[in-house]
Structure 1
């Protein structure tokens, strides 16, 4: 268990918020399974791992959620071996253990739906509805900026009409010119805050960020329901939508990859391949209609 704590502390120290949260989630699930007892190196066997996996399955967790917990557990185990906290001679419980995520169908929104989200009159509703919508459009206008990067985006990250930020997920630096629709959102939320979007209201702790993330996720999902969008609306949909529209407009793969901050075009190919269902379905419909 101390191996997990060390791993989490390292990610907290380097400011990798998303990874820290993921390791904490995996850690909490493991401690729940152990029920307060300790897990010693000699107990961590392939058989123990099978029992843990069956316990996760019995809790009704989906395949990808179980994969999530096993992957982070494996990462901590591998680091423990490298650091000498676990004896390498005890046998790797993950040997021949296949941990593969099931591909989920990603949905991107067509231009007409994006326009409906942009035009939706939310003035009579709770202010968080309008904020959630603006964050969604902000992400779209910034080539799919993640929620955490938007929330912690500082005013000093903007200079001469150019926005420059470091992705918290990868540490990669990205820059983009601020177009008029994006500037409108920035101006709308201008305040004394250090941040471009003062969502955290003076408390920029990780706990406050997670609370706002959970709350705003609910509001953006409700907007999708109000507009009768068939698939659940999330902030990540904005990223998928930007990538798909860029492709449909004939944007070269190299530019899409660079714009999204992917470290290789292979990642972008896999990313876009998951979005091709609608294109293929439309082509099939045209052929059938002939």
Structure 2
């Protein structure tokens, strides 16, 4: 192996207090570079033959502890080099690439720190919803871990099981809520493996299965949609906008709430809504129907091309607009609950119901599954099948009768 690493005192970089940095000297294919340890010594206190701090050094409470810490840093770096060698990757790295792998892995031993830095990267990529989700889950894990740091190697099968028991012991917490948290933890861990922060052999999800319970049916029948449509609400009514949002979502092929609130007047081109879905970045091209036009017309009055159509997003920056959307969604769902009471709808009415109802009603109309999937903007048919898995029994009865007709 043409790679070496050792502890050294870098006497080329003298500081004002006459100390020099203790470094890891990395050699790789006849090139050398240094990795800082954060420790500084006067030359007289460094034993160059033994590569350690002399016992006469008085700048620490324990010289043995300091030397053990430096040896530990060296061992971690050597372990990374060895693993890269055994995986057949070492020979194909430049010295700077190798250094970055060593530094990055040491820097991100903390699962919390790494997860929060990934969240910041997501914000730069304008994926504020996912970033907020990562931050929220890390916050919950910190509470569970009593505000102590969590290293990657500590996030093992036992930790996941203990977190599961902790979550499910709290009143109101559900198995599906736990599954959502676990999927986020899994995503961060997978990113850590990809970035060489942790080895795949330590992956706790090889043995931990994320479980979910079947969700309640979210679709409502067409008669309930008509009741919402027929609600006589004046424009000053507190539920006026929420009724409109629900109907617009349903009519626009189950458009998601986040996509609706980010629609701009300029997205309407030749009587079609043309935009990019926030969640998947997939391009949408939806015909503006007569009923949709009646709703949109109310909001388009005096709007400019770059103005948002719906009165939800008020602030200028994208990050703040996502916060406006989050707050607006809470009020929207609260308003839908009141609308359900007005229309005597026993099912729970939420922003998701319009989307699920559209998909279910499309199936009733014998629209092919592939077409429904395309309308919803799903990249996989399996996702669409989740939307449609809870068909009402009377629909299944009709199918059975038809199949038994000989």
* TM-score (structure 1 length as normaliser): 0.89
Match of 2:360 in 1: 244
CA distance in 2, matches of 1:131, 1:209: 14
Please tell me whether the aligned partners of residues 243 and 272 of structure 1 are also in contact (alpha carbons under 8 angstroms): yes
Match of 1:120 in 2: 231
CA distance in 2, matches of 1:46, 1:269: 31
- Alignment match of 1:141 (pick from 251, 258, 265): 251
- Alignment match of 1:172 (pick from 255, 270, 282): 282
Matched, 1:209 2:325: yes
Correspondence 1:1-290 to 2 at 5 A: 1-60=112-171, 61-88=173-200, 91-123=202-234, 127-190=237-300, 191-192=302-303, 194-202=307-315, 205-280=321-396
Choose between structure 1 and 2 for higher RCO, CA contacts under 8 A separated by at least 6 residues: 1
**Alpha-carbon distance, 1:117 to partner:** 0.1
CA distance in 1, matches of 2:332, 2:400: 37
**Which of 42-51 and 112-121 deviates more?**
42-51
Larger radius of gyration: 2
Unaligned runs of 5+ in 1: 286-290
| Residue correspondences, number | 283
3-state SS of paired residue (1:175): strand
Give the 3 Å change call, closer, same or farther, for CA 278–16 of structure 1 in structure 2: farther
Deviation track 1:84-117 (CA, whole Å, cap 9, x = no partner) reads: 223445x222221110222213232222211110
- Higher-helix-fraction structure: 1
Deviation track 1:48-90 (CA, whole Å, cap 9, x = no partner) reads: 222111111122311001111111111111111221223445x
CA distance in 2, matches of 1:277, 1:17: 40
CA distance in 1, matches of 2:196, 2:280: 27
Unaligned runs of 5+ in 2: 1-111, 402-406
- Higher-strand-fraction structure: 2
Deviation track 1:16-38 (CA, whole Å, cap 9, x = no partner) reads: 34323322321221122123211
Please tell me whether the aligned partners of residues 261 and 310 of structure 2 are also in contact (alpha carbons under 8 angstroms): yes
